[in-house]
A = this chain, B = another copy of it.
Amino acid sequence: MEAQKQLVVKSVLDAWNSRIEAADKLFNGLTDEQLQQEIAPGRNRGIYLLGHLTAVHDKMLPLLDFEEQVYPHLDEPFLHKADKTVNTIPSTKELRENWKNINAKLATHFNKLNPTSGFKSTSVSGEDFAKEPHRNRINVVVGRTNHMQYHIGQVALLKK
């Protein structure tokens, strides 16, 4: 059963890693000019979704008890405000770097976790683990993978 549990955790982490890889490939294949386009008329621009995903992944660091958030200045333009309502946002170059850095940090932390014991927060009993899903690391990874996919399907519309 120990082995089975590890495989279930592995399924979830493999999915996260493969979707990050696919997202990287997509963003790398889009020019800065393409990222300035709206994904559909009147909708979010690619650059906003890059910033939004970066901010959401950044906040996974404290949520998973890994470390402090690295780029709190992204919260305002990409989480609290809608696209095209903020005068200045970081450059595309900077956001591309932030995105890579945050995902690399998350990967380093995931690699250090014990696949059997690492996916519940310390000091959370089995019962609390079920009751408080935000304290359940697997729930966070599953939820954030789904969130990424939702927006990546939109960013993909910018491809020629």
CB distance from A146 to the nearest CB of B (A): 5
A34 at the interface (CB under 8 A from B): no
A63 at the interface (CB under 8 A from B): no
Please tell me the number of chain A residues within 8 Å of chain B, measured between CB atoms: 41
Most buried by B among A11, A145, A147, A150: A11
A49 closest partner in B (C-beta):
B153
Interface string of A119-131 (1 = CB under 8 A from B): 1100000100110
Contact: B40 with A130, CB < 8 Å?
no
Contact: A157 with B1, CB < 8 Å?
no
A33 at the interface (CB under 8 A from B): no
CB distance from A125 to the nearest CB of B (A): 10
A79 at the interface (CB under 8 A from B): no
Bound complex: CA of A129 vs CA of B1, how far in Å? Answer: 13
The 6 residue pairs across chains A and B that have the minimum distance between CB atoms: A150-B153, A149-B149, A40-B40, A5-B5, A153-B153, A149-B150
Query: If A39-B40, A146-B149, A150-B153 touch, does A136 touch B1 (CB 8 Å cutoff)?
Result: no
CB neighbors of B among A40-97 (8 A): 40-41, 43
A140 closest partner in B (C-beta):
B11
Bound complex: CA of A2 vs CA of B116, how far in Å? Answer: 11
A102 at the interface (CB under 8 A from B): no
What would 24 A/B residue contacts be, using CB atoms closer than 8 Å? A1-B2, A3-B126, A4-B120, A4-B126, A7-B138, A8-B138, A10-B130, A11-B12, A11-B138, A11-B139, A12-B138, A14-B139, A15-B142, A15-B143, A15-B146, A40-B41, A40-B157, A41-B41, A43-B157, A142-B142, A146-B146, A146-B149, A150-B156, A154-B157
